[in-house]
């Protein structure tokens, strides 16, 4: 089977779970015998992976789309987070980049041979629709997140919502990463339930195996790792941190990631009087090292369609607390779960895990074992079956 896949990012150009998913899925599909062409914006450098043919739209014309490849990274021109000056989660010129990608991607694949088109998230939906109309080939879309998730349902961009709706309307099949997200697609976008297949994410288990790592301090380490944006709940993380520090002073809260709320979160930690206990690491290439040195990983997302970082932490043997407002909470049990807004309960759970070593060890061991069942080959099998069903029905 020959698959034309459209995505906005692919490692090492990756800002989060979207790039991780595309990498794991294409490797799994390749191992199942599929030939994959992956079309992404031009990066300015050659990208070569033996299991996938990568086409960078605009590369032959020396056109680079955008100044960076972070589709969910807000521009500081539009405010710095919840309640401060607006909530536009895209940088200046991003919409023009999407339109340019649409034209260049369609042109780049005119002479390519493929059986089915597979688009990941709204940035590629216009290109997928255009290519579908020109090639007469079926199209599948995977919805990893919606505009409602990215903005916490506050001031979602109508144009983006319309693009999301159009992609799902023109698609022959819709894949999403949790029942949490499936319900949202049915309620907010009126997508028929029978058109949606839920395929949960997986994790590269070997990447996260191995011994623990020391942070080089005596303090316990509580980790937040992800985009520092409204959707991920970094402000709730800091609110809980302040409550924990009233009872447990020997704790370091580490924030790994960047985003529009990062300056405000640094300011917030100072205003709270906890700055000496909070370390902002910024963007990190080696995230495995941070998982391995943490005593606890916390994912306080406001709205998380899945939450692949939770699987990464579990695969690292690190105890995990996750938001109940997440897709991953549907499929993991060896963790603690809390409503993102309930920072009192979050703080109590953090204190309990940090105080009791046997609990930490048991959670780490059981979580590690549970993570082993999330395999990208299983994801690839599910997706291949969806492709086959669509192709056979034509």
CA torsion 384-385-388-389 (nearest 10°) is: -150
The pLDDT score that the predictor gives to residue 12 is: 83
Check pLDDT > 90 for residue 384: yes
Question: Per-residue pLDDT tens for 216-243?
Answer: 778 999 999 999 999 999 999 999 999 9
Q: Is the sign of the CA dihedral 312, 313, 317, 323 positive or negative?
A: negative
Q: Give the global pTM.
A: 0.88
Instruction: Please give the average per-residue pLDDT across 165-176, as a whole number.
Output: 97
Q: Which pLDDT belongs to residue 60?
A: 67
- The CA distance from 371 to 177, in Å, is 16
Query: What's phi and psi for 97, nearest 5 deg?
Result: -65, -40
* 175 vs 79, more confident: 175
Q: Which residues contact 336 (CB under 8 A, 6 or more apart)?
A: 319, 320, 321, 322, 349, 353, 363
Pick the range with the lowest mean pLDDT from 110-114, 142-146, 205-209.
205-209
Average pLDDT over residues 253-270: 95
Identify the structural domains of the chain with CATH numbers, from first to last. 2-202+375-392 (3.40.50.2000), 205-371 (3.40.50.2000)
| Each residue's pLDDT tens digit, 126-150 | 999 999 999 999 999 999 999 998 8
Report pLDDT for 77.
Answer: 25
**What mean pLDDT is reported for the chain?**
89
Instruction: Please count the residues of the chain.
Output: 394
Residue 383 has pLDDT above 70, yes or no: yes
Mind listing the pLDDT tens digit for each residue in 158-170? 999 999 999 999 9
């Amino acid at each position: 089977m020959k698959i034309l896949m459209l995505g906005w990012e692919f490692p090492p150009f990756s800002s989060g779970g979207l790039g991780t998913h595309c990498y794991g899925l294409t490797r799994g599909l390749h191992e199942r015998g599929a030939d994959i062409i992956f079309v992404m914006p031009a990066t300015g450098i050659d990208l070569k992976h033996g299991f996938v043919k990568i086409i960078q739209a605009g590369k032959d014309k020396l056109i680079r789309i955008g100044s960076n490849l972070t589709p969910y990274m807000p521009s500081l021109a539009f405010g710095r987070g919840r309640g401060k000056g607006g909530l536009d989660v895209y940088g200046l010129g991003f919409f023009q980049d999407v339109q340019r990608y649409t034209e260049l991607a369609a042109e780049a694949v005119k002479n390519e041979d493929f059986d089915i088109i597979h688009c990941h998230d709204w940035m590629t939906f216009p290109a997928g629709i255009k290519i579908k109309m020109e090639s007469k080939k079926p199209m599948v879309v995977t919805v990893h997140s919606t505009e409602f998730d990215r903005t916490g349902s506050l001031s979602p961009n109508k144009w983006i919502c319309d693009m999301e709706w159009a992609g799902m309307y023109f698609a022959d099949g819709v894949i999403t990463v949790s029942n949490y997200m499936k319900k949202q697609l049915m309620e907010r976008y009126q997508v028929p339930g029978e058109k949606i297949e839920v395929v949960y994410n997986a994790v590269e288990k070997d990447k996260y195996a191995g011994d623990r790592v020391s942070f080089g301090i005596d303090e316990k380490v509580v980790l937040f790792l992800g985009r520092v944006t409204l959707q991920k709940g970094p402000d709730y993380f800091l609110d809980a941190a302040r409550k924990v520090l009233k009872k447990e002073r020997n704790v370091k809260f580490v924030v790994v990631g960047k985003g529009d709320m990062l300056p405000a979160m640094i300011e917030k930690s100072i205003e709270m009087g906890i700055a000496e206990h909070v370390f902002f690491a910024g963007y990190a290439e080696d995230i495995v090292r941070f998982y391995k040195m943490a005593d606890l990983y916390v994912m306080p997302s406001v709205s998380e369609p899945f939450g692949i970082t939770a699987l990464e932490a579990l695969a690292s043997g690190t105890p995990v607390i996750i938001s109940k407002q997440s897709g991953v909470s549907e499929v993991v049990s060896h963790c603690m779960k809390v409503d993102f807004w309930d920072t009192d309960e979050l703080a109590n759970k953090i204190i309990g895990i940090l105080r009791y070593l046997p609990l930490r060890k048991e959670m780490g061991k059981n979580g590690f074992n549970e993570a082993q069942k999330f395999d990208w080959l299983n994801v690839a099998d599910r997706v291949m079956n969806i492709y086959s069903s669509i192709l056979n029905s034509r």
